Amino acid sequence: MFRAKNRAKDRAQEPPAEIQKPDEQWKRDLTREQYNVLRRGHTEMAFTGALLRNKKTGSYVCAGCGSELFRSDAKFNSGTGWPSFFEPAVAQAVELRSDYSMLMRRTEVICRRCGGHLGHVFRDGPRPTGQRYCINSAALAFEPTADPDQES
């Protein structure tokens, strides 16, 4: 039983993130809120995030490294107070890890490129995936898609 299981690896055994910076550098490069979420794993207060109600068409990229994480067509209103997506832009952009903090078994969502904490994923999302990526607004930056009809 033990051997057949694909057990969660220790953090130390994981390949290092592509982008690595000393903590002091992250502190300088990020806002206080971005730093607390991405590098310290904090969760922003519900209904406070700048991108929660954003309905524009475009990409949600990592606030730490600019890697594309989610797209507007997978965003939905979950009512939870955090930006929610039913799938990542590309599966490889995020890394999932078991998280046993807060006395709950949750799955943490991490940016694969810089190792930044993004949020958690739950299994009560809408179709087609049934997944709910509950992501901190502070971990994201929004890049609108250029609309050719609106270019002058």
With respect to Zn ion, which residue has the nearer C-beta, 60 or 86?
A: 60
Cα–Cα distances in angstroms (integers) from residue 92 to residues 26, 30, 67, 111, 113, in the given order:
23, 24, 11, 9, 9
φ/ψ (deg, to 5) at 74 = -105, 5
How far, in Å, CA of 137 to CA of 33, rounded? 10
Closest distance between Zn ion and the C-beta of residue 124, in Å? 26
Closest distance between Zn ion and the C-beta of residue 81, in Å? 23
Residues contributing to the site for Zn ion (CB under 5 A): 62, 64-65, 67, 111, 113-114, 116
CB 100 within 8 A of CB 80: no
Which one-letter amino acid corresponds to residue 137? Answer: S
With respect to Zn ion, which residue has the nearer C-beta, 52 or 94?
A: 94
How far, in Å, CA of 77 to CA of 64, rounded? 24
**Catalytic residue list contains 134:** yes
With respect to Zn ion, which residue has the nearer C-beta, 112 or 132?
A: 112
Closest distance between Zn ion and the C-beta of residue 113, in Å? 5
List residues bridging with 98 in a β-sheet: 107
- The residues near 15 (Cβ < 8 Å, ≥ 6 apart) are none
With respect to Zn ion, which residue has the nearer C-beta, 52 or 111?
A: 111
Catalytic residue among 62, 65, 114, 134: 134
Which one-letter amino acid corresponds to residue 5? Answer: K
Closest distance between Zn ion and the C-beta of residue 150, in Å? 29
Which residues are catalytic, by number?
134
